[in-house]
Structure 1
């Protein structure tokens, strides 16, 4: 897959099938759009996802973004799903004020040689969000491309969207989040040295600091699986600041059920399956140990179902 932070300029004679949007999370709705463009590869079209480095709302309000997927994670999942080119363009003043027809002509037609577009019914683009799927269909007749308006993927009566997933993530409802995404929610990071208090109470843990832009579930304890060096480990994970031992950084600390290896310095991917309980300050390390032993029993039982 080709990844670029600029508007691609395809060679003469190379055609593309394009889908456009924010694509935060690459959830089931996004996957439906990507499936549409990847099908066009059979007709010798490049499958192109056109997205932005930040959402227009974050850019306008100057709000630091928190993403369901980091840029690197989105690239990996896009490639796995058959994308040929991921254009992750900076959202600039010029782009924000570009008229819809100018955007179509300069970017989709002249640069991407678009032959087919797949967009959702609520897709908007261009200055003041004046561009819509119906305008694309009209311009397609003029410039020689077809537009498919792809119905939203549903969860019951509600559209699957990044907003919906964020709502459920903020509740710690990981089963719902994973169902909407079509994969298990995860975070990644390098395993680092903590204060190693877990070893003193017989529960050694792997600590990682997640990327700053990654949106995490609420602080608390979760049933998880960790992918480390190609191996999967079942476990339980605490997201938070560990109030009992007064740590002041947001971390992800995992007890791996069946692992006695030295994992420091290795990359870990922690996948969240179920919320167990909120983060809590205990009166003593002994009380913390008792609770952790209960959490471990619950976690083991979960994976034995």
Structure 2
């Protein structure tokens, strides 16, 4: 998949099937839109995701979003920050100059509440109207629902902020995860507590509340169940940056320097400061028992 961040002009793309939106997290509603443009590849179109706007904290990192879209079959991801030019471009001009002119669109898939252009005056109905005139087809999809609530990035963010890993998994179709290279910590776990692996999450990634979670950690050719602390480790002096520290069940390997992906399954308890290392270790052992019981019930 080709990834392009739009700084000035859009690239020239021939015969594209485009879906538009924020695509902060590729939730189940986004997935339906992407599936629609993938279908158009059978007609010779290039599947293009046009992600409008950027946030300082995102559900998915750029790398995670690229990987998911590539695995789905997307050909090109265009990331378009809301520059002054884009913010003030009339919806009609956006259609004519970008969709028709630059992307040579043949098919557009959008959600029913999608808005674009200056003062958000662009609507799915406008896309359909211009499509009839200029020869592209627009398909408007109803929002995916969870009961009476529409599935959206806002909904996903709310559940992530609550630490509701089960609901996050339902809305996204995949676990919340943190990836990175296993780093050296201060060695406190190996010396006094339980041996752990340490990751530093990307600064732009939206994290769940600090606390202890049941997790599965994936390495190149193996996976381990465990419990993970997200936070600053206040009992042992605290850390400046949020860390992701995992105790792996039944693992005695040296994993420093290896690439690791930690999938979050369930929230256990908030992070807290204990009166001593002994009290912290006793609590971690109780957390580990709960984690092992969780996997035994699956």
TM-score range, shorter chain: over 0.9
Query: Among residues 68, 90, 107, which one is paired with 1:77 in the alignment?
Result: 68
Per the alignment, residue 39 of structure 2 pairs with 39
Conservation of the 8 A alpha-carbon contact between 2:20 and 2:52 = no
1:303 correspondence with 2:260: no
Counterparts of 2:20 and 2:270, CA distance in 1: 38
Aligned residues: 293
Per the alignment, residue 22 of structure 2 pairs with 22
- Cα distance, 1:81 vs structure 2: 1.0
Per the alignment, residue 2 of structure 2 pairs with 2
1:184 correspondence with 2:187: no
Alignment deviations for residues 38-92 of structure 1 (CA, whole Å, 9 cap, x no partner): 011111111110013515xxxxxxxxx1100011110000111111111112321
1:237-248 aligned at under 5 Å gives the runs 237-248=228-239
Per the alignment, residue 217 of structure 2 pairs with 226
Counterparts of 1:90 and 1:258, CA distance in 2: 45
- Cα distance, 1:261 vs structure 2: 1.5
Per the alignment, residue 173 of structure 1 pairs with 164
1:257-268 aligned at under 5 Å gives the runs 257-268=249-260
Alignment deviations for residues 154-206 of structure 1 (CA, whole Å, 9 cap, x no partner): 11111100101111111111101111100111111221111111112351000
Per the alignment, residue 82 of structure 2 pairs with 91
Per the alignment, residue 62 of structure 1 pairs with none
Conservation of the 8 A alpha-carbon contact between 1:8 and 1:87 = no
Counterparts of 2:82 and 2:251, CA distance in 1: 44
Alignment deviations for residues 90-136 of structure 1 (CA, whole Å, 9 cap, x no partner): 32111111111111111111111111100001101111111010111
Secondary structure of 2:182's counterpart equals strand
> Tell me, which stretches of 5 or more residues in structure 2 are unaligned?
none
Q: TM-score, normalised by structure 1?
A: 0.93
Query: Among residues 244, 267, 278, which one is paired with 1:286 in the alignment?
Result: 278
Counterparts of 1:115 and 1:230, CA distance in 2: 42
Query: Which range moved further: 187-196 or 65-74?
Result: 187-196
CA RMSD of aligned residues (A): 1.1
Per the alignment, residue 206 of structure 1 pairs with 197
Counterparts of 1:301 and 1:109, CA distance in 2: 56
Query: Which range moved further: 209-218 or 199-208?
Result: 199-208
> Tell me, which stretches of 5 or more residues in structure 1 are unaligned?
56-64
Runs of 4+ in 1 over 6 A off after TM superposition: none
Conservation of the 8 A alpha-carbon contact between 2:226 and 2:288 = yes
Query: Among residues 98, 109, 114, which one is paired with 1:118 in the alignment?
Result: 109
Alignment deviations for residues 14-37 of structure 1 (CA, whole Å, 9 cap, x no partner): 311110000011010000100111
Per the alignment, residue 151 of structure 2 pairs with 160
